[in-house]
Amino acid sequence: MTDVLRSEWTKIRSVRSTVWTLLVAVVLMVGFGLLVAASTASLGENAGLGDSTMISLSGSAFASLAVATLGVLAVGGEYRTGMIRTTLLAVPGRLRMLAAKTAVVAAVAFAVSLAASFASFFGGQAVLGDKAARLGDPGVLRAVVGAALLITATGVFGLALGALIRHTPGAIVAVIGLVFVLPQMTSLLPGEWGDTVQRYFTTNAGSQITYTRVAEGQLGPWAGFAVYCTWIAVTLAAAAVLLRRRDA
Amino acid sequence: MIDARRLTKRYGSTVAVDGLSFEVRGGHVTGFLGPNGAGKSTTMRMMLGLDHPTEGSVLIDGTPYGRLKHPLRKVGALLDAKAVHGGRTARDHLLCLAQSNGIPSSRVNEVLALTGLTEVARRRVGGFSLGMSQRLGIAAALLGDPEILLFDEPVNGLDPEGILWIRTLMRNLAAEGRTVFVSSHLMSEMAQTADHLIVIGRGRLIADTGTREFISRSSQGYVRVRSPRLPDLARLLDGAVSGRAGDGTAAVTLHGDHLRVTGMTAAAVGEAAAGAGLALHELAEVAPSLEAAYMELTQSSTEYAGVTS
């Protein structure tokens, strides 16, 4: 397995799209955090509401999309070029290959997003001045690490959808729909079942881990993140089953 | 050794490969021949575990490809030279393959030198010409120093220099005792490279024989003859060949403006015509060729035969 992990690491570090998607993720994460923090600070005393930690992590959703693209490209790029056949000649154990790819994408995504998340937090708090939160305040450290976990999980979601759909543009549309568009549309659903769907839908559940306090009517931070991970695990399992069954 | 047993691949109601059984042994080049669409590539993908056979199996020295621990050290394959990630450098492409099979990275430099790619090792492969891509594909196939090599249409689209290079390489690999299995729809190419032929048509085995035997057994030379009095000549030669038809291969057939005579030499045809006072406009021996043998065998199994053929 170490052989396959090394191989996948070489693959991901040797294409330019990795650098670009990660760079975009960091810029969106830190830039958006600073922007929202600056705009909040400029409201002065009137800005009594709001969670300072959440404000500085405002870029998580956009950074998630950039990292999801990284995940999609890690698999989709192989299908687009036909490289997948060369890969499977070298590693005929398809589940081993998928597991190694997932592990490498998750590790790279977590390392970069954790650094970006801390940078956004400290940068944002510096801009917010006297309203700044501290890392030791309740729930703050969990929220900052949680933002990195959310971004990483979304990267794996992208990879799973890439392996399932085997077509880069299709998988990118799917991931944007599932983590960005549809979660917002669920709030339009009527009645109690509508509320339930809204609560459990992908990033509506997953993003709870980036808030210091539990929002009313929503799942708790870890419960919400677990629900999001279940969505991803189911997608990845479906991709794994099809990967084994289909001709490459 | 490669051992294919009753290999079958169906796509819905279409049968791409139909109960194919053959063995490929070491020490010589085995040509895998068939018209386009005969099922060559599908068969090779099944041999390499990429496509799942509907029925049957392929064993590489007794083990299915998918169960080989370090497959690249046992089998090297070139399927599609352009099937590489264009954004990666040649060196990184080979390095990730080497790492996955526990092959030392020093071997990457060796195969780069062997295929003449050292100079372009740090260039992205997206900008490679077909010839360079082909060399990269061969470098990847040789990476694990495998005893079995599979090449799918390796000379397609190459310039004469590239074709010669690949042909020499394949012969050398076989001379080292390796098993070399190469597919092609080009007869002339196989005539020059392969010692043994496995010929398929519509997914079925047509012949599994030595190249020389294949030519001599399935096709014979004939005498091509033209005359202004073709019907008279045909009647005359019919009588002559039926007299000597011991093995049943002698015949006279009309092909447009000329006759094809088998079982008689050109000299005998000329003598007979002169004796009957028939003028000849053309008299020629046509030697047997692999091309003709192949056409003869695969004509009935060509999927999309043109209306004029």
- B204 and B238 belong to one structural domain: no
Instruction: Quickly state the pLDDT bin for B304 (edges 50, 70, 90).
Output: very low
Query: Which residues, at least 6 apart from A161, have a Cβ–Cβ distance to it below 8 Å?
Result: A71, A72, A171, A174, A175, A178, A235, A239
| Average confidence (pLDDT) over A137-162 | 96
Domain assignment present for B307: no
> Mean pLDDT over residues B264-272, rounded?
88
- Pick from A6, A15, A247: CB nearest B88: A15
Torsion of CA A143, A149, A154, A155, to 10 degrees: 140
More confident residue, B264 or A164: A164
pLDDT mean over A44-55: 72
The verdict on a CB contact (< 8 Å) between A88 and B50 is yes
Tell me whether residue A229 is exposed, middle or buried, using C-beta atoms within 10 angstroms of its C-beta: 0 to 12, 13 to 18, 19 or more: middle
Q: Which residue of A has its CA nearest to B123?
A: A14
Which residues of A are less than 8 Å from B52 in CB distance?
Answer: 245, 247
Would you call B300 exposed, middle or buried from its count of C-beta atoms within 10 A (0-12, 13-18, 19+)?
exposed
- Closest among B250, B226, B249 to B240, alpha carbons compared: B250
Dist. CA B238–CA B261, nearest whole Å: 9
CA pair distance A141, A151, nearest whole angstrom? 16
B268 and B158 within one domain:
no
Report residue B307's pLDDT band, with 50, 70 and 90 as the boundaries. very low
Q: What is the pLDDT of residues A192-211, one digit of tens each?
A: 999 999 999 999 999 999 99
Residues B173 and B30 in one domain: yes
pLDDT of residue A133: 87
Verify that B147 and B248 share a domain, yes or no: no
Question: Which residues of chain A neighbour B50 with C-beta distances below 8 Å?
Answer: 85, 88-89, 247-248
Task: Report the candidate in A161, A143, A159, A111 with the shortest Cα–Cα distance to residue A209.
Answer: A143
Q: Confidence band (pLDDT; 50, 70, 90) for A40?
A: confident
Domain that holds residue B270: 220-287
Distance CA B232, CA B239 (A): 11
Residue B305: inside a domain, yes or no?
Answer: no
Min Cα–Cα distance to chain B from A162, Å: 16
Nearest to A65 by CA among A27, A104, A120: A27
CA distance A31 to A39: 12
Residues of B with Cβ-Cβ distance to A15 under 8 angstroms: 85, 87-88
Same domain, B169 and B116: yes
Query: Domain for residue B302, yes or no?
Result: no
User: Searching chain B, which residue's CA lies closest to the CA of residue A88?
Assistant: B50
Q: Which of A21-25, B49-53, B153-157, B165-169 bottoms out in mean pLDDT, i.e. has the lowest?
A: B153-157
Instruction: Measure CA A148 to chain center.
Output: 8
pLDDT of residue A60: 95
Tokens, residue B115: 């295929």
Same domain, B227 and B98: no
Residue B233 has pLDDT above 50, yes or no: yes
Q: Tell me which of B290 and B143 has the higher pLDDT.
A: B143
Query: Tell me, what CATH number does B272's domain have?
Result: 3.30.70
Q: Measure Cα distances from B5 to B17, B54, B236 in Å.
A: 12, 12, 51
Q: Are A244 and A218 in contact (CB under 8 A)?
A: no
Shortest distance between the Cα of B64 and any Cα of chain A, in A, equals 10
Q: Is B96 on the interface with A (CB under 8 A)?
A: yes
> Of B210, B229, B262, which one is at a domain's C-terminal end?
B210
Cβ of A14 under 8 Å from any chain B Cβ?
A: yes
User: How far apart, in whole angstroms, are the C-alpha atoms of residue B233 and residue B210?
Assistant: 38
Question: In the predicted model, is pLDDT for residue B301 greater than 70?
Answer: no
- CA B35/CA A137 separation, integer angstroms: 74
Q: Is the pLDDT of residue B306 over 60?
A: no
Per-residue pLDDT of A116-137, as tens digits, reads 999 999 999 999 887 888 888 8
Q: Tell me, what's the pLDDT at B244?
A: 63
Chain A neighbors of B49, CB-CB under 8 A: 88-89, 92
Say how far apart CA A149 and CA A104 lie, in whole Å: 15
Chain B residue closest in CA terms to A10: B96
Considering the domain architecture, whether residues B119 and B257 belong to the same structural domain is answered as: no
Residue B138 has pLDDT above 90, yes or no: yes
A93 contacts B96? CB cut-off 8 A: no
Query: Would an 8 Å CB–CB cutoff place A93 in contact with chain B?
Result: yes
Say if CB A70 and CB A21 are below 8 A apart.
yes
Let me know whether B63 and B193 are in one domain.
yes
Query: How many CB contacts within 8 angstroms connect chain A with chain B?
Result: 87
Decide if B281 is inside a domain: yes
Please report whether residue B266 resides in a domain. Answer: yes
Query: Which residues, other chains included, contact B216 with Cβ-Cβ below 8 Å and sequence gap of 6+?
Result: B288
Q: Span B269-291, mean pLDDT?
A: 84
Q: Is residue B292 part of a domain?
A: no
pLDDT value, residue A3: 94
B126: in domain: yes
| Cα–Cα dist B298/B292, whole Å | 10
Q: Is A3 in contact with B102 (Cβ distance < 8 A)?
A: yes
Phi and psi torsions of B33, nearest 5°: -115, 145
Eight-class DSSP state of B83: -
- What is the rounded average pLDDT of the residues B139-154? 95
The packing angle between helices A2-13 and A94-128, to 10°, is: 50
The bridge status of strand B75-78 relative to strand B14-24 is: unpaired
Give residue A226's pLDDT.
Answer: 97
Same domain assignment for residues B251 and B190 = no
Instruction: Determine, for residues A7 and B50 on separate chains, whether the beta-carbon distance falls below 8 Å.
Output: no
B192: which residues sit within 8 A by CB, 6+ positions away?
Answer: B167
A78–B66 C-beta distance less than 8 A: no
Say if residue A49's pLDDT is above 60: no
Which residue from B minimizes the CA distance to A87? B97
CA of B135 vs chain A CAs: smallest distance (Å): 15
B159 and B226 fall within a common domain: no
Q: Using CB atoms within 10 A of its CB, is residue B288 exposed (0-12), middle (13-18) or buried (19+)?
A: middle
Identify the DSSP state of B125: G
What is the pLDDT, as a whole number, of residue A92?
95
Q: Which chain B residues are closer than 8 Å to A6 by Cβ? A: 99-100
Q: Please check whether residue B263 is in contact with residue B208, taking contact to mean a CB–CB distance below 8 angstroms.
A: no
A15 touches chain B (CB under 8 A): yes
- Given B156, B184, B210, the domain boundary residue is B210
State whether residue B10 sits within 8 Å of chain A by CB.
Answer: no
Mean pLDDT over each residue of chain B, to the nearest integer: 87
Contacts of residue B72 in chain A, CB cutoff 8 Å?
Answer: 89-90
Alpha carbon of B77: minimum distance to chain A alpha carbons (Å): 8
In chain B, the number of structural domains is: 2
> Which pLDDT band holds residue B308 (cuts at 50, 70, 90)?
very low
Q: Distance between the two ends of chain B, CA-based, in angstroms?
A: 38
Instruction: Say how many residues make up chain A.
Output: 248
Helix B90-100, helix A2-13: angle, nearest 10 = 170
Question: What does the DSSP assignment read for A103-157?
Answer: HHHHHHHHHHHHHHHHHHHHHHHHHHGGG---TTSTTHHHHHHHHHHHHHHHHHH
| In chain B, % of residues over pLDDT 90 | 52
CB contact (8 A) between residue A85 and residue B84? no
- For B83, which of A17, A85, A91 is closest by C-beta distance? A85
**Tokens at residue A34, please?**
């600073």
Residue of B nearest to A1 (CA): B100
Q: Do B100 and A93 touch (CB under 8 A)?
A: no
- Establish if B87 belongs to a structural domain: yes
- pLDDT tens track for B23-34: 999 888 999 998
- What residues of B are in contact with residue A83 (Cβ under 8 Å)? 83-85
Cα–Cα nearest to B190, from B309, B1, B40, B21: B40
Give the best residue of B58, B59, B60, B99 to mutate against chain A (max A CB count within 10 A): B99
ipTM of the complex: 0.91
The verdict on B88 and B175 lying in the same domain is yes
| SS3 category, B34 | coil
Ranges assigned E (strand) in chain B? 2-11, 14-24, 29-33, 55-60, 75-78, 148-152, 179-184, 196-201, 204-210, 222-226, 251-255, 258-262, 282-286
DSSP structure class, residue B105: T
Chain B 220-239, CB below 8 Å of chain A: which residues? Answer: none
- Any CB–CB contact under 8 A between A184 and chain B? no
Are the Cβ atoms of B85 and A83 closer than 8 angstroms?
A: yes
